[in-house]
Amino acid sequence: MNKFFLLIIFLSSNIYCQFDSLIFYKQMRLIGIPQDVDASNIIFPLGDQNKDGFDDIMFYDCSDKSGYIYMGGSPMDTIPANILHFYDSLYIGGAITVIDLNNDHIKDIFVTTLVTTDSGYRHQGPLRVYYGGDVIDSLPNLTFNPPPGIKGISPIILKDFNGDGRNELVLYDSNLPYSSKQYGTFYFYNTASQFDTIPQYIIMGDSVNQIRLERISSSGDINGDGKTDFTLHGTIGPSPPYDRYFRSFYLGNENFDLQSDEIFYQDEHTFSVDYMRIINDINGDRKDDILIHDYGFYNYYYLNAILHGSFPIDTIPDVGLNTQNQGISLYQACSLGDVNGDGFNDFFSTTLNFGYRNVKLWVGGRDMPYTWGDVANKTWHGTSDGFGRTISNVGDVDGDGVNDILIGQILYGSQPVTSCNYGWIYIFKGDTSVIGDTGAVNVKNEIPVPDEYYLYEPYPNPFNPSTTIKWQSSIQGHTTIKVFDILGKEIAVLINNELAAGQHQIEFNAEEYKLSSGVYFLNIKTGNFEEIKKMIYLK
């Protein structure tokens, strides 16, 4: 029985797998101070640098403060094509981004630096740009000074705020200029055909009225006018506890007007204004959407929901997401583009589940989600330290026409916690076998099934006291369904006989077996097929 238990933990076996084809794997030293690690600190999708039809990517290794550039391919090369050394870049992330600044339609690498004085004091150093292309020079192609009076900055990229077809470069300093007052300042640069190294526009917090502006959390076109909008979170009042929390939305416009267009104050709403994140258009209406926490519109195990793009923003959810009582991290939610080839944007995020993270993916469509019970189309179950602490889009690195998926594992390290820990990068292949919006019929509640067998996610999960187990087979065969506890002990035999082809379901009631709350494993075998699902019983 111990052998069986190890199979569950380390293999999570599934003969028919979707989004499980691993096309790139690399061990690195990765930044690991926060509980979750923002992918923008360590993972940098570069687009197609050498115009060979494969997207490329750079990883920041904190052990030698260097960027390792890997070129896409089929197969993807595991030897870096280039290494850029950023020895004086900021140590704890937020120091690097990618943007086309020289107007050649290839992403460039933008890096902030630190300067250390003889007395050991560190302050913001020059800003450097490495132009992208077939060969990236080890020396910066452009160097310029940061705005005067800053303390420390992190770069942010907006797709196109003013509709000129160019991405916007924004630098954020948590302080006011020439001050240690942490009310926040945003510096917007003109990225027209000739990049201007002097910021053109500024947004600042207000120290008199104690209004603090936090970093821009997400951006997208929520009103469908072709210009990128952005949102940021802020507080009003003295340092914690603050008097008020708010979220501001700024609509893109030709005049670069940076007055907020809509503000949500937390004390005026029952939903969390902090947890609102713009994601790429999920339903094909040409408006980007907003991911939020559900606030009473769906069953308790639906912890998240989607607002379809609109302005003014309609805060009544349009789509409920059955996260199976595992709240997805909105800070980690990531738009993927199209990973299943149906023409709709998809997204994924991490969830926290009994100490280990899971990663859940939903494919887009007009009537998404296309699953039984509105659960995620795919869940990668974390069974080891640090799995899913960072996730990212990567574009199409293998050139098959659909985007691929990156999940990172970063160890927490020993005590005291270090900021640079061992980690692994996994890139999974996009999968056109996953059915989303067919464009011809409403396929809601249909699940893509393999030729022989498919096991649905138990529903609900977590459950109390019962859950429905549903499976489908296209052939007749002997089937066993058993439940095991986390130690590998057999708890129940639910099915052990010959079954006809077709769809079947059975109810599992934990009270009948006098079970305590915890994690249990469902094991199904038929012929050469075997699959395992994790279930959580919460009294």
Task: Per residue of the chain (539 residues), give pLDDT as tens.
Answer: 343 433 333 333 333 458 999 999 999 988 866 667 788 889 999 999 999 999 999 999 988 889 999 999 999 999 999 999 988 765 545 689 999 999 999 999 999 988 877 777 778 889 999 999 999 999 999 999 999 999 889 999 999 999 999 999 999 999 999 999 999 999 999 887 789 999 999 999 999 999 999 999 999 999 999 999 999 999 999 877 788 999 999 999 999 999 999 999 999 999 999 999 999 999 999 999 999 999 999 998 999 999 999 999 999 999 999 998 888 888 889 999 999 999 999 999 998 766 678 999 999 999 898 888 889 999 998 877 888 989 999 999 999 999 999 999 988 765 445 678 889 999 999 999 887 765 533 333 343 333 456 677 788 878 899 998 988 777 788 999 999 987 888 999 999 998 888 778 899 999 999 999 888 889 888 877 777 887 888 88
- Per DSSP, the three-state class of 528 is coil
- Considering the domain architecture, whether residues 350 and 443 belong to the same structural domain is answered as yes
- Considering the domain architecture, whether residues 441 and 469 belong to the same structural domain is answered as no
Q: Would the pTM of this model clear 0.75, i.e. be above it?
A: yes
Q: How far is CA 23 from CA 397, 407, 428, in A?
A: 9, 12, 6
- Considering the domain architecture, whether residues 441 and 502 belong to the same structural domain is answered as no
- Considering the domain architecture, whether residues 440 and 335 belong to the same structural domain is answered as yes
CATH number, residue 508? 2.60.40.3080
pLDDT at 447: 37
- Per DSSP, the three-state class of 149 is coil
Looking at the DSSP bridge assignments, the partners of residue 296 are none
Asked whether residue 89 is assigned to any structural domain, the reply reads no
Taking the C-alpha atoms of residue 158 and residue 186, their distance in angstroms, rounded to an integer, is 12
Per-residue DSSP letter, 4? H
pLDDT at 411: 84
- Considering the domain architecture, whether residues 385 and 443 belong to the same structural domain is answered as yes
Contacts of 119 (CB under 8 A, 6+ apart): none
Nearest to 312 by CA among 277, 270, 260: 260
- Considering the domain architecture, whether residues 364 and 471 belong to the same structural domain is answered as no
- Considering the domain architecture, whether residues 305 and 387 belong to the same structural domain is answered as yes
Token pair belonging to 16: 């028919």
Q: How far is CA 307 from CA 222, 266, 304, 339, 389, in A?
A: 10, 17, 10, 21, 26
- Considering the domain architecture, whether residues 441 and 483 belong to the same structural domain is answered as no
Range of the domain at 331: 295-406+436-447
- Considering the domain architecture, whether residues 440 and 490 belong to the same structural domain is answered as no
Conformational region of residue 336, where left means phi above 0, alpha means psi within -120 to 50, and beta covers everything else: alpha
Domain count of the fold of the chain: 2
- Considering the domain architecture, whether residues 492 and 443 belong to the same structural domain is answered as no
- Considering the domain architecture, whether residues 441 and 495 belong to the same structural domain is answered as no
Token pair belonging to 270: 């029952």
- Considering the domain architecture, whether residues 442 and 462 belong to the same structural domain is answered as no
